[in-house]
Chain A
Amino acid sequence: MSVRLRLPANMRSLASDQSEIAIDGTTVGECLQNLAQQFPELESRLLDAEGNLQGFINVFVDNVSIRELRQLRTPVSEGSEVLIVAALAGG
Protein backbone atom coordinates (compact mmCIF):
# COMPACT_ATOMS: atom_id res chain seq x y z
CA MET A 1 0.00 0.00 0.00
CA SER A 2 1.08 3.54 -0.64
CA VAL A 3 1.34 6.40 1.87
CA ARG A 4 2.03 10.11 1.46
CA LEU A 5 5.33 10.79 3.19
CA ARG A 6 6.02 14.43 3.93
CA LEU A 7 9.63 15.53 4.39
CA PRO A 8 10.85 18.52 6.43
CA ALA A 9 12.35 21.40 4.49
CA ASN A 10 15.91 20.62 5.59
CA MET A 11 15.82 17.14 4.03
CA ARG A 12 14.20 17.89 0.71
CA SER A 13 17.47 18.58 -1.06
CA LEU A 14 18.40 14.95 -0.33
CA ALA A 15 15.22 13.73 -2.07
CA SER A 16 15.28 15.55 -5.40
CA ASP A 17 13.68 18.62 -3.77
CA GLN A 18 10.40 16.80 -3.17
CA SER A 19 8.31 17.76 -0.16
CA GLU A 20 5.86 14.87 -0.47
CA ILE A 21 6.67 11.41 -1.78
CA ALA A 22 4.43 8.39 -2.38
CA ILE A 23 6.07 5.43 -0.63
CA ASP A 24 5.03 1.79 -0.32
CA GLY A 25 5.07 -0.04 3.00
CA THR A 26 2.85 -1.66 5.60
CA THR A 27 4.58 -0.11 8.63
CA VAL A 28 6.34 3.19 9.28
CA GLY A 29 9.66 1.32 9.48
CA GLU A 30 9.11 -0.25 6.06
CA CYS A 31 8.18 3.12 4.59
CA LEU A 32 11.36 4.71 5.95
CA GLN A 33 13.51 1.84 4.69
CA ASN A 34 11.93 2.14 1.24
CA LEU A 35 12.49 5.88 1.33
CA ALA A 36 16.15 5.35 2.25
CA GLN A 37 16.57 2.90 -0.63
CA GLN A 38 15.40 5.56 -3.06
CA PHE A 39 17.36 8.36 -1.39
CA PRO A 40 20.32 6.80 0.49
CA GLU A 41 21.50 10.12 1.98
CA LEU A 42 18.31 10.28 4.01
CA GLU A 43 18.99 7.07 5.92
CA SER A 44 21.39 8.47 8.52
CA ARG A 45 19.24 11.58 8.90
CA LEU A 46 16.32 9.40 9.98
CA LEU A 47 17.71 6.20 11.48
CA ASP A 48 20.71 5.38 13.66
CA ALA A 49 23.16 2.54 13.08
CA GLU A 50 20.81 0.11 14.88
CA GLY A 51 17.87 1.11 12.71
CA ASN A 52 16.14 3.13 15.44
CA LEU A 53 14.64 6.56 14.85
CA GLN A 54 17.18 9.33 15.47
CA GLY A 55 16.67 11.36 18.65
CA PHE A 56 16.18 14.57 16.69
CA ILE A 57 13.34 13.21 14.55
CA ASN A 58 9.67 12.67 15.30
CA VAL A 59 7.29 10.81 12.99
CA PHE A 60 3.53 11.22 12.99
CA VAL A 61 0.97 9.06 11.19
CA ASP A 62 -2.16 11.06 10.50
CA ASN A 63 -1.07 13.56 13.19
CA VAL A 64 -0.41 10.91 15.90
CA SER A 65 3.17 10.35 17.07
CA ILE A 66 4.46 6.85 16.46
CA ARG A 67 5.78 7.00 20.05
CA GLU A 68 2.11 6.82 21.08
CA LEU A 69 1.56 3.91 18.72
CA ARG A 70 4.00 1.09 17.96
CA GLN A 71 7.10 3.10 17.08
CA LEU A 72 8.55 1.96 13.75
CA ARG A 73 6.22 -1.06 13.79
CA THR A 74 3.20 1.26 13.57
CA PRO A 75 1.00 0.03 10.71
CA VAL A 76 0.00 2.44 7.95
CA SER A 77 -3.07 2.47 5.74
CA GLU A 78 -3.51 3.30 2.08
CA GLY A 79 -3.39 7.08 1.79
CA SER A 80 -2.05 7.69 5.32
CA GLU A 81 0.02 10.81 5.80
CA VAL A 82 3.40 10.05 7.35
CA LEU A 83 4.85 13.34 8.58
CA ILE A 84 8.54 13.59 9.45
CA VAL A 85 9.30 16.43 11.84
CA ALA A 86 12.93 17.39 12.36
CA ALA A 87 14.39 19.37 15.26
CA LEU A 88 14.87 22.99 14.20
CA ALA A 89 16.70 25.82 15.90
CA GLY A 90 16.35 28.73 13.50
CA GLY A 91 15.82 31.77 15.68
Chain B
Amino acid sequence: MELYSLTIHELRELLKKREVSALEVTKSYLERIKEVEPKIDALVTITEDFALQKAKEADEKIKKGEDTALTGIPVIIKDNISTEGIKTTCSSKMLENYIPPYNATVVEKLLEEGVIILGKSNLDEFAMGSSTENSAFKTTKNPWDLSRVPGGSSGGSAAAIAADEAAFALGSDTGGSIRQPASLCGVVGMKPTYGLVSRYGLVAFASSLDQIGPFTKDVTDCAIVLNTIIGHDPKDSTSLKIDKPDYTSYLKEDIKGLRIGVAKEFFGEGIEEGVKETVQESIKVLQNLGAEIIDISIPYVEYALPAYYIIASAEASSNLARYDGIRYGHIAEKYEDLIDMYMVTRSEGFGKEVKRRIMLGTYALSSGYYDAYYKKALKVRTLIKNDFEKAFEKCDVIIGPTSPTVAFKIGERANDPLAMYLADIYTVSVNIAGLPGISIPCGLSDGLPVGLQIIGRHFEEGKILNVAYAFEQANKFNAKPQAIGVQDNEVRSSDWLRGPCRTFDREQNLL
Protein backbone atom coordinates (compact mmCIF):
# COMPACT_ATOMS: atom_id res chain seq x y z
CA MET B 1 0.00 0.00 0.00
CA GLU B 2 1.37 3.35 -1.02
CA LEU B 3 0.99 6.32 1.28
CA TYR B 4 -0.83 8.30 -1.38
CA SER B 5 -3.65 5.79 -1.55
CA LEU B 6 -4.56 6.21 2.12
CA THR B 7 -7.40 8.26 3.56
CA ILE B 8 -6.98 11.18 5.92
CA HIS B 9 -7.89 9.14 8.97
CA GLU B 10 -5.47 6.42 8.01
CA LEU B 11 -2.67 8.91 7.39
CA ARG B 12 -3.39 10.66 10.67
CA GLU B 13 -2.99 7.39 12.55
CA LEU B 14 0.44 6.87 11.01
CA LEU B 15 1.51 10.48 11.56
CA LYS B 16 0.33 10.45 15.13
CA LYS B 17 2.23 7.29 15.89
CA ARG B 18 5.20 8.89 14.16
CA GLU B 19 5.41 5.89 11.84
CA VAL B 20 5.67 8.25 8.91
CA SER B 21 6.51 11.93 8.68
CA ALA B 22 4.51 14.62 6.93
CA LEU B 23 7.51 15.05 4.65
CA GLU B 24 7.33 11.41 3.57
CA VAL B 25 3.61 11.70 2.99
CA THR B 26 4.10 14.88 0.96
CA LYS B 27 6.89 13.36 -1.11
CA SER B 28 4.76 10.31 -1.80
CA TYR B 29 2.00 12.52 -3.18
CA LEU B 30 4.42 14.67 -5.19
CA GLU B 31 5.78 11.48 -6.76
CA ARG B 32 2.29 10.30 -7.49
CA ILE B 33 1.43 13.65 -9.09
CA LYS B 34 4.52 13.33 -11.26
CA GLU B 35 3.31 9.92 -12.36
CA VAL B 36 -0.31 10.51 -13.13
CA GLU B 37 -0.62 14.20 -13.84
CA PRO B 38 0.58 13.97 -17.44
CA LYS B 39 -2.36 11.67 -18.11
CA ILE B 40 -5.17 13.44 -16.35
CA ASP B 41 -4.23 17.13 -16.31
CA ALA B 42 -6.02 17.81 -13.04
CA LEU B 43 -3.71 20.57 -11.87
CA VAL B 44 -3.06 24.10 -13.03
CA THR B 45 -0.31 24.85 -10.52
CA ILE B 46 1.89 22.60 -8.42
CA THR B 47 3.40 24.17 -5.33
CA GLU B 48 6.20 21.73 -4.65
CA ASP B 49 8.59 23.97 -2.71
CA PHE B 50 5.79 25.45 -0.65
CA ALA B 51 4.49 21.94 0.09
CA LEU B 52 7.87 20.65 1.21
CA GLN B 53 8.35 23.65 3.48
CA LYS B 54 4.88 23.21 4.97
CA ALA B 55 5.56 19.49 5.45
CA LYS B 56 8.61 20.31 7.56
CA GLU B 57 6.57 22.76 9.61
CA ALA B 58 3.89 20.11 10.08
CA ASP B 59 6.47 17.65 11.34
CA GLU B 60 7.64 20.25 13.86
CA LYS B 61 4.07 20.66 14.99
CA ILE B 62 3.65 16.93 15.37
CA LYS B 63 6.93 16.70 17.28
CA LYS B 64 5.71 19.34 19.73
CA GLY B 65 2.39 17.57 20.10
CA GLU B 66 0.56 20.57 18.67
CA ASP B 67 -0.97 18.63 15.81
CA THR B 68 -4.69 18.62 15.03
CA ALA B 69 -7.00 16.63 12.80
CA LEU B 70 -5.47 17.76 9.50
CA THR B 71 -1.84 18.42 10.40
CA GLY B 72 0.48 17.04 7.73
CA ILE B 73 -2.36 16.11 5.36
CA PRO B 74 -1.86 17.12 1.71
CA VAL B 75 -4.61 18.98 -0.10
CA ILE B 76 -5.34 20.30 -3.58
CA ILE B 77 -7.36 23.47 -3.88
CA LYS B 78 -9.64 24.45 -6.72
CA ASP B 79 -8.08 27.34 -8.56
CA ASN B 80 -10.92 29.73 -7.88
CA ILE B 81 -10.08 29.86 -4.16
CA SER B 82 -7.61 32.60 -3.24
CA THR B 83 -4.18 31.54 -2.05
CA GLU B 84 -1.80 34.28 -1.00
CA GLY B 85 1.30 34.39 -3.16
CA ILE B 86 0.08 31.47 -5.30
CA LYS B 87 -1.57 32.11 -8.64
CA THR B 88 -5.34 31.84 -8.62
CA THR B 89 -6.32 31.67 -12.27
CA CYS B 90 -9.92 30.40 -12.29
CA SER B 91 -8.61 28.55 -15.36
CA SER B 92 -9.14 31.77 -17.28
CA LYS B 93 -6.84 33.68 -19.53
CA MET B 94 -8.19 36.71 -17.70
CA LEU B 95 -6.40 35.70 -14.48
CA GLU B 96 -3.54 33.70 -15.97
CA ASN B 97 -0.96 35.71 -14.02
CA TYR B 98 -3.02 36.90 -11.08
CA ILE B 99 -1.46 36.35 -7.65
CA PRO B 100 -3.81 37.19 -4.77
CA PRO B 101 -2.25 39.15 -1.90
CA TYR B 102 -4.55 37.40 0.57
CA ASN B 103 -5.85 33.97 1.57
CA ALA B 104 -9.43 32.77 1.44
CA THR B 105 -10.81 32.09 4.92
CA VAL B 106 -10.93 28.34 4.25
CA VAL B 107 -7.29 28.39 3.18
CA GLU B 108 -6.38 30.25 6.40
CA LYS B 109 -8.20 27.61 8.39
CA LEU B 110 -6.39 24.77 6.62
CA LEU B 111 -2.97 26.40 6.97
CA GLU B 112 -3.56 27.00 10.68
CA GLU B 113 -4.06 23.28 11.09
CA GLY B 114 -0.87 22.52 9.23
CA VAL B 115 -2.39 21.22 6.01
CA ILE B 116 0.02 20.91 3.08
CA ILE B 117 -1.04 22.59 -0.14
CA LEU B 118 0.25 20.59 -3.11
CA GLY B 119 -1.31 22.65 -5.86
CA LYS B 120 -4.29 24.26 -7.48
CA SER B 121 -6.74 22.29 -9.58
CA ASN B 122 -8.21 22.86 -13.00
CA LEU B 123 -11.83 23.94 -13.46
CA ASP B 124 -14.26 25.14 -16.05
CA GLU B 125 -13.38 28.80 -16.50
CA PHE B 126 -14.78 30.74 -13.51
CA ALA B 127 -16.56 27.51 -12.48
CA MET B 128 -18.95 27.73 -15.42
CA GLY B 129 -19.42 24.29 -16.86
CA SER B 130 -19.99 20.63 -16.13
CA SER B 131 -17.03 18.96 -17.81
CA THR B 132 -13.87 21.01 -17.13
CA GLU B 133 -13.59 21.39 -20.91
CA ASN B 134 -14.13 25.13 -20.50
CA SER B 135 -10.72 25.61 -18.91
CA ALA B 136 -8.55 28.05 -20.85
CA PHE B 137 -5.49 25.91 -20.12
CA LYS B 138 -6.29 22.21 -20.41
CA THR B 139 -8.99 19.60 -20.36
CA THR B 140 -8.89 17.34 -17.35
CA LYS B 141 -9.48 13.64 -18.07
CA ASN B 142 -11.50 11.20 -16.04
CA PRO B 143 -9.12 8.76 -14.31
CA TRP B 144 -11.61 5.97 -15.00
CA ASP B 145 -11.48 6.55 -18.75
CA LEU B 146 -9.14 9.12 -20.19
CA SER B 147 -11.42 9.75 -23.15
CA ARG B 148 -14.14 10.95 -20.81
CA VAL B 149 -14.70 14.14 -18.84
CA PRO B 150 -14.30 14.23 -15.06
CA GLY B 151 -17.41 16.40 -14.76
CA GLY B 152 -17.27 19.97 -13.61
CA SER B 153 -16.73 22.57 -12.76
CA SER B 154 -14.47 21.16 -10.01
CA GLY B 155 -13.27 18.43 -12.38
CA GLY B 156 -9.63 18.94 -11.47
CA SER B 157 -10.27 18.43 -7.75
CA ALA B 158 -12.47 15.36 -8.34
CA ALA B 159 -10.02 13.73 -10.77
CA ALA B 160 -7.10 14.51 -8.46
CA ILE B 161 -8.73 12.65 -5.57
CA ALA B 162 -9.80 9.75 -7.78
CA ALA B 163 -6.19 9.50 -8.98
CA ASP B 164 -4.73 9.80 -5.44
CA GLU B 165 -2.96 13.08 -6.15
CA ALA B 166 -3.90 14.38 -2.70
CA ALA B 167 -5.63 13.13 0.43
CA PHE B 168 -8.46 15.58 -0.07
CA ALA B 169 -9.39 18.54 -2.21
CA LEU B 170 -11.52 21.64 -2.01
CA GLY B 171 -14.03 22.55 -4.65
CA SER B 172 -16.91 24.94 -5.07
CA ASP B 173 -20.48 24.12 -5.93
CA THR B 174 -22.86 26.61 -7.53
CA GLY B 175 -25.18 24.23 -9.36
CA GLY B 176 -23.55 20.85 -8.79
CA SER B 177 -19.89 21.64 -9.34
CA ILE B 178 -18.73 19.45 -6.45
CA ARG B 179 -21.32 16.67 -6.46
CA GLN B 180 -21.48 16.05 -10.21
CA PRO B 181 -17.70 15.58 -10.74
CA ALA B 182 -17.53 13.56 -7.49
CA SER B 183 -20.19 11.32 -8.99
CA LEU B 184 -18.41 11.02 -12.34
CA CYS B 185 -15.03 10.32 -10.71
CA GLY B 186 -16.24 7.95 -7.97
CA VAL B 187 -15.26 10.01 -4.93
CA VAL B 188 -17.13 11.66 -2.05
CA GLY B 189 -18.06 15.29 -2.56
CA MET B 190 -20.19 17.52 -0.38
CA LYS B 191 -21.85 20.87 -0.87
CA PRO B 192 -22.66 22.19 2.61
CA THR B 193 -25.66 24.37 3.49
CA TYR B 194 -25.38 27.87 2.04
CA GLY B 195 -23.76 29.95 4.77
CA LEU B 196 -21.99 27.10 6.57
CA VAL B 197 -18.57 27.62 4.97
CA SER B 198 -17.20 31.13 4.46
CA ARG B 199 -17.13 32.29 0.85
CA TYR B 200 -14.50 34.94 1.59
CA GLY B 201 -11.78 34.38 -0.97
CA LEU B 202 -13.84 32.19 -3.28
CA VAL B 203 -13.86 34.01 -6.60
CA ALA B 204 -17.55 34.70 -7.03
CA PHE B 205 -19.56 33.10 -9.80
CA ALA B 206 -23.11 33.31 -8.42
CA SER B 207 -22.92 34.74 -4.92
CA SER B 208 -26.30 33.52 -3.70
CA LEU B 209 -25.55 29.92 -4.75
CA ASP B 210 -21.78 29.40 -4.36
CA GLN B 211 -20.50 27.21 -1.55
CA ILE B 212 -17.09 25.66 -0.88
CA GLY B 213 -16.95 21.98 0.03
CA PRO B 214 -14.62 18.97 0.26
CA PHE B 215 -13.71 16.05 -2.02
CA THR B 216 -12.55 13.04 -0.06
CA LYS B 217 -11.88 9.35 -0.50
CA ASP B 218 -14.49 8.32 2.04
CA VAL B 219 -17.32 9.63 4.21
CA THR B 220 -15.24 9.74 7.40
CA ASP B 221 -12.75 12.06 5.73
CA CYS B 222 -15.61 14.25 4.58
CA ALA B 223 -16.71 14.70 8.20
CA ILE B 224 -13.12 15.42 9.30
CA VAL B 225 -12.59 18.12 6.67
CA LEU B 226 -16.00 19.64 7.34
CA ASN B 227 -15.08 20.02 11.00
CA THR B 228 -12.23 22.31 10.00
CA ILE B 229 -13.67 24.39 7.18
CA ILE B 230 -17.05 25.37 8.60
CA GLY B 231 -17.82 28.20 10.97
CA HIS B 232 -18.90 31.80 11.11
CA ASP B 233 -16.61 34.27 9.38
CA PRO B 234 -16.99 37.97 10.17
CA LYS B 235 -15.72 38.70 6.66
CA ASP B 236 -18.70 36.98 5.02
CA SER B 237 -22.08 38.55 5.84
CA THR B 238 -23.91 35.46 4.62
CA SER B 239 -21.97 33.07 6.82
CA LEU B 240 -24.00 31.85 9.75
CA LYS B 241 -23.37 31.74 13.45
CA ILE B 242 -24.08 28.19 14.53
CA ASP B 243 -22.69 25.95 17.21
CA LYS B 244 -19.94 23.91 15.59
CA PRO B 245 -20.90 20.24 15.76
CA ASP B 246 -18.38 17.42 15.62
CA TYR B 247 -19.40 15.82 12.36
CA THR B 248 -17.47 12.63 13.09
CA SER B 249 -19.97 11.95 15.87
CA TYR B 250 -22.57 11.32 13.16
CA LEU B 251 -20.56 8.52 11.58
CA LYS B 252 -22.79 5.71 12.77
CA GLU B 253 -24.01 2.62 10.98
CA ASP B 254 -27.42 2.78 12.59
CA ILE B 255 -30.13 4.36 10.43
CA LYS B 256 -33.05 2.35 11.72
CA GLY B 257 -36.31 4.23 11.43
CA LEU B 258 -34.74 7.09 9.49
CA ARG B 259 -37.16 8.32 6.85
CA ILE B 260 -35.58 8.51 3.42
CA GLY B 261 -37.51 10.30 0.72
CA VAL B 262 -37.30 9.21 -2.90
CA ALA B 263 -38.61 11.80 -5.33
CA LYS B 264 -39.94 10.54 -8.65
CA GLU B 265 -38.76 13.79 -10.25
CA PHE B 266 -35.16 12.62 -9.79
CA PHE B 267 -35.72 9.61 -12.02
CA GLY B 268 -37.24 11.40 -14.96
CA GLU B 269 -36.40 11.90 -18.59
CA GLY B 270 -32.76 11.62 -19.64
CA ILE B 271 -31.61 9.26 -16.91
CA GLU B 272 -29.44 6.38 -18.07
CA GLU B 273 -30.76 2.93 -17.32
CA GLY B 274 -27.50 1.87 -15.63
CA VAL B 275 -27.57 4.88 -13.35
CA LYS B 276 -31.20 4.29 -12.49
CA GLU B 277 -30.63 0.64 -11.63
CA THR B 278 -27.54 1.29 -9.53
CA VAL B 279 -29.33 3.96 -7.53
CA GLN B 280 -32.40 1.78 -7.05
CA GLU B 281 -30.22 -1.00 -5.72
CA SER B 282 -28.65 1.48 -3.34
CA ILE B 283 -32.07 2.42 -2.06
CA LYS B 284 -32.63 -1.26 -1.30
CA VAL B 285 -29.38 -1.36 0.63
CA LEU B 286 -30.61 1.49 2.81
CA GLN B 287 -33.98 -0.17 3.22
CA ASN B 288 -32.27 -3.35 4.37
CA LEU B 289 -30.41 -1.28 6.96
CA GLY B 290 -33.76 -0.39 8.48
CA ALA B 291 -34.47 2.96 6.88
CA GLU B 292 -38.03 3.77 5.95
CA ILE B 293 -38.31 4.56 2.24
CA ILE B 294 -40.99 7.14 1.46
CA ASP B 295 -42.18 8.20 -1.96
CA ILE B 296 -42.26 11.95 -2.21
CA SER B 297 -42.76 14.57 -4.87
CA ILE B 298 -41.02 17.87 -5.48
CA PRO B 299 -43.17 19.13 -8.36
CA TYR B 300 -41.41 22.44 -8.99
CA VAL B 301 -37.97 20.85 -9.21
CA GLU B 302 -38.25 20.68 -13.00
CA TYR B 303 -38.15 24.49 -13.00
CA ALA B 304 -34.94 24.58 -10.99
CA LEU B 305 -32.64 24.42 -14.01
CA PRO B 306 -34.11 27.35 -15.97
CA ALA B 307 -34.37 29.39 -12.73
CA TYR B 308 -30.79 28.49 -11.95
CA TYR B 309 -29.51 29.64 -15.33
CA ILE B 310 -31.15 33.01 -14.91
CA ILE B 311 -30.09 33.63 -11.30
CA ALA B 312 -26.56 32.31 -11.73
CA SER B 313 -25.95 34.11 -15.02
CA ALA B 314 -27.37 37.40 -13.76
CA GLU B 315 -25.18 37.36 -10.68
CA ALA B 316 -22.21 36.24 -12.77
CA SER B 317 -22.66 39.11 -15.22
CA SER B 318 -22.25 41.50 -12.29
CA ASN B 319 -19.53 39.54 -10.47
CA LEU B 320 -17.42 39.29 -13.61
CA ALA B 321 -17.80 42.96 -14.55
CA ARG B 322 -14.75 43.87 -12.45
CA TYR B 323 -12.36 42.17 -14.86
CA ASP B 324 -11.19 45.16 -16.85
CA GLY B 325 -7.42 44.70 -16.65
CA ILE B 326 -6.87 47.93 -14.71
CA ARG B 327 -6.12 46.55 -11.25
CA TYR B 328 -5.26 42.94 -12.13
CA GLY B 329 -5.66 40.41 -14.86
CA HIS B 330 -5.37 40.42 -18.60
CA ILE B 331 -5.38 43.80 -20.33
CA ALA B 332 -5.66 44.51 -24.04
CA GLU B 333 -2.63 45.84 -25.85
CA LYS B 334 -4.43 47.61 -28.65
CA TYR B 335 -7.57 49.66 -28.28
CA GLU B 336 -9.04 52.95 -29.38
CA ASP B 337 -10.30 54.50 -26.17
CA LEU B 338 -11.47 53.65 -22.68
CA ILE B 339 -14.66 51.85 -23.70
CA ASP B 340 -12.76 49.94 -26.35
CA MET B 341 -10.15 48.98 -23.78
CA TYR B 342 -12.89 47.39 -21.67
CA MET B 343 -14.38 45.59 -24.65
CA VAL B 344 -11.14 44.25 -26.11
CA THR B 345 -9.76 43.25 -22.70
CA ARG B 346 -12.86 41.35 -21.76
CA SER B 347 -13.35 39.73 -25.14
CA GLU B 348 -9.76 38.49 -25.17
CA GLY B 349 -9.74 37.41 -21.52
CA PHE B 350 -12.99 35.44 -21.30
CA GLY B 351 -13.81 32.17 -23.02
CA LYS B 352 -17.00 31.39 -24.89
CA GLU B 353 -19.09 29.86 -22.13
CA VAL B 354 -18.26 32.70 -19.76
CA LYS B 355 -19.27 35.23 -22.40
CA ARG B 356 -22.47 33.31 -23.07
CA ARG B 357 -23.46 33.48 -19.41
CA ILE B 358 -22.49 37.14 -19.07
CA MET B 359 -24.68 37.85 -22.10
CA LEU B 360 -27.61 35.87 -20.72
CA GLY B 361 -27.25 37.46 -17.29
CA THR B 362 -26.92 40.98 -18.64
CA TYR B 363 -30.00 40.42 -20.76
CA ALA B 364 -31.98 39.05 -17.81
CA LEU B 365 -31.17 42.12 -15.70
CA SER B 366 -31.54 44.73 -18.42
CA SER B 367 -34.18 47.37 -18.42
CA GLY B 368 -37.57 45.94 -19.33
CA TYR B 369 -36.58 42.30 -18.72
CA TYR B 370 -35.78 42.28 -15.00
CA ASP B 371 -39.29 41.36 -13.90
CA ALA B 372 -39.79 38.79 -16.63
CA TYR B 373 -36.55 36.96 -15.93
CA TYR B 374 -34.61 37.74 -12.77
CA LYS B 375 -37.55 38.50 -10.51
CA LYS B 376 -39.51 35.63 -11.96
CA ALA B 377 -36.62 33.26 -11.26
CA LEU B 378 -36.41 34.50 -7.65
CA LYS B 379 -40.11 33.78 -7.28
CA VAL B 380 -39.66 30.28 -8.66
CA ARG B 381 -36.86 29.95 -6.15
CA THR B 382 -39.44 30.54 -3.42
CA LEU B 383 -41.64 27.79 -4.88
CA ILE B 384 -38.76 25.32 -4.96
CA LYS B 385 -37.70 26.21 -1.42
CA ASN B 386 -41.27 25.65 -0.22
CA ASP B 387 -41.41 22.38 -2.13
CA PHE B 388 -38.40 21.04 -0.26
CA GLU B 389 -39.75 22.27 3.06
CA LYS B 390 -42.95 20.35 2.44
CA ALA B 391 -41.02 17.26 1.38
CA PHE B 392 -38.90 17.42 4.52
CA GLU B 393 -42.03 17.26 6.64
CA LYS B 394 -42.35 13.67 5.45
CA CYS B 395 -38.73 12.57 5.47
CA ASP B 396 -35.33 13.26 7.04
CA VAL B 397 -33.21 13.09 3.91
CA ILE B 398 -33.91 12.82 0.20
CA ILE B 399 -31.90 10.53 -2.04
CA GLY B 400 -31.49 10.02 -5.76
CA PRO B 401 -28.86 9.98 -8.46
CA THR B 402 -26.36 12.86 -8.50
CA SER B 403 -26.11 12.90 -12.28
CA PRO B 404 -28.46 11.44 -14.88
CA THR B 405 -25.48 9.90 -16.68
CA VAL B 406 -22.05 8.49 -16.04
CA ALA B 407 -19.03 10.38 -17.37
CA PHE B 408 -19.56 11.39 -20.98
CA LYS B 409 -17.01 11.61 -23.75
CA ILE B 410 -14.77 14.63 -24.09
CA GLY B 411 -16.19 16.83 -26.82
CA GLU B 412 -19.56 15.10 -26.80
CA ARG B 413 -21.51 18.07 -25.48
CA ALA B 414 -18.99 20.83 -26.01
CA ASN B 415 -20.95 22.50 -28.78
CA ASP B 416 -24.40 22.16 -27.28
CA PRO B 417 -24.73 24.42 -24.25
CA LEU B 418 -28.22 23.18 -23.37
CA ALA B 419 -27.19 19.53 -23.41
CA MET B 420 -24.30 20.45 -21.12
CA TYR B 421 -26.62 22.32 -18.76
CA LEU B 422 -28.74 19.17 -18.37
CA ALA B 423 -25.81 17.49 -16.59
CA ASP B 424 -26.79 19.54 -13.53
CA ILE B 425 -30.46 18.70 -13.61
CA TYR B 426 -30.44 16.80 -10.30
CA THR B 427 -28.05 19.05 -8.47
CA VAL B 428 -29.14 22.66 -9.12
CA SER B 429 -32.33 22.53 -7.05
CA VAL B 430 -30.21 21.90 -3.96
CA ASN B 431 -28.29 25.16 -4.59
CA ILE B 432 -31.49 27.01 -5.39
CA ALA B 433 -32.86 25.97 -2.00
CA GLY B 434 -29.51 26.44 -0.21
CA LEU B 435 -29.59 22.87 1.12
CA PRO B 436 -26.68 20.54 1.91
CA GLY B 437 -26.04 17.61 -0.42
CA ILE B 438 -23.45 14.90 -0.78
CA SER B 439 -22.51 12.58 -3.59
CA ILE B 440 -21.03 9.22 -2.67
CA PRO B 441 -20.01 6.45 -5.05
CA CYS B 442 -22.62 3.69 -5.05
CA GLY B 443 -21.49 1.39 -7.84
CA LEU B 444 -20.37 1.13 -11.43
CA SER B 445 -22.31 1.25 -14.65
CA ASP B 446 -20.37 0.10 -17.70
CA GLY B 447 -17.24 0.32 -15.59
CA LEU B 448 -17.87 3.97 -14.71
CA PRO B 449 -18.82 5.30 -11.28
CA VAL B 450 -22.36 6.21 -10.35
CA GLY B 451 -23.00 8.74 -7.57
CA LEU B 452 -25.75 8.65 -4.97
CA GLN B 453 -26.95 12.06 -3.89
CA ILE B 454 -28.20 12.57 -0.35
CA ILE B 455 -29.90 15.87 0.39
CA GLY B 456 -30.70 17.15 3.88
CA ARG B 457 -32.45 20.02 5.60
CA HIS B 458 -30.54 23.23 6.21
CA PHE B 459 -27.62 22.56 8.58
CA GLU B 460 -28.37 18.87 8.82
CA GLU B 461 -25.07 17.76 7.32
CA GLY B 462 -24.84 15.38 10.29
CA LYS B 463 -27.86 13.42 9.20
CA ILE B 464 -26.53 13.22 5.63
CA LEU B 465 -23.21 11.92 6.91
CA ASN B 466 -25.00 9.36 9.04
CA VAL B 467 -26.84 7.93 6.01
CA ALA B 468 -23.75 8.16 3.80
CA TYR B 469 -21.59 6.41 6.37
CA ALA B 470 -24.11 3.63 6.98
CA PHE B 471 -24.38 3.09 3.24
CA GLU B 472 -20.62 3.12 2.76
CA GLN B 473 -20.07 0.56 5.50
CA ALA B 474 -22.75 -1.73 4.06
CA ASN B 475 -21.71 -1.29 0.47
CA LYS B 476 -17.94 -0.77 0.30
CA PHE B 477 -16.86 0.89 -2.90
CA ASN B 478 -13.46 -0.66 -3.43
CA ALA B 479 -13.12 -0.18 -7.16
CA LYS B 480 -10.19 1.93 -8.29
CA PRO B 481 -9.81 3.76 -11.58
CA GLN B 482 -7.89 1.55 -13.96
CA ALA B 483 -7.05 4.07 -16.66
CA ILE B 484 -4.05 5.33 -14.70
CA GLY B 485 -1.54 2.80 -13.56
CA VAL B 486 1.27 3.09 -11.08
CA GLN B 487 3.96 2.33 -13.64
CA ASP B 488 4.76 4.82 -16.43
CA ASN B 489 8.50 4.99 -15.93
CA GLU B 490 9.00 7.23 -18.89
CA VAL B 491 8.07 10.40 -17.04
CA ARG B 492 10.10 9.70 -13.92
CA SER B 493 13.34 11.32 -14.97
CA SER B 494 11.89 14.56 -16.21
CA ASP B 495 12.33 17.63 -14.08
CA TRP B 496 9.11 19.33 -15.03
CA LEU B 497 8.01 19.56 -11.47
CA ARG B 498 10.18 22.41 -10.24
CA GLY B 499 9.31 25.81 -8.87
CA PRO B 500 6.88 26.96 -6.22
CA CYS B 501 3.95 27.58 -8.49
CA ARG B 502 4.34 26.28 -11.93
CA THR B 503 1.58 26.71 -14.44
CA PHE B 504 1.10 24.12 -17.12
CA ASP B 505 -0.56 24.97 -20.31
CA ARG B 506 -1.37 23.25 -23.52
CA GLU B 507 1.84 24.30 -25.25
CA GLN B 508 3.92 22.32 -22.79
CA ASN B 509 3.06 18.89 -23.97
CA LEU B 510 4.10 16.93 -20.97
CA LEU B 511 3.11 13.53 -22.15
Is the pairing of A and B real?
no
Could you tell me which A residues sit within 8 Å of B by CB distance? none
Could you tell me which B residues sit within 8 Å of A by CB distance? none
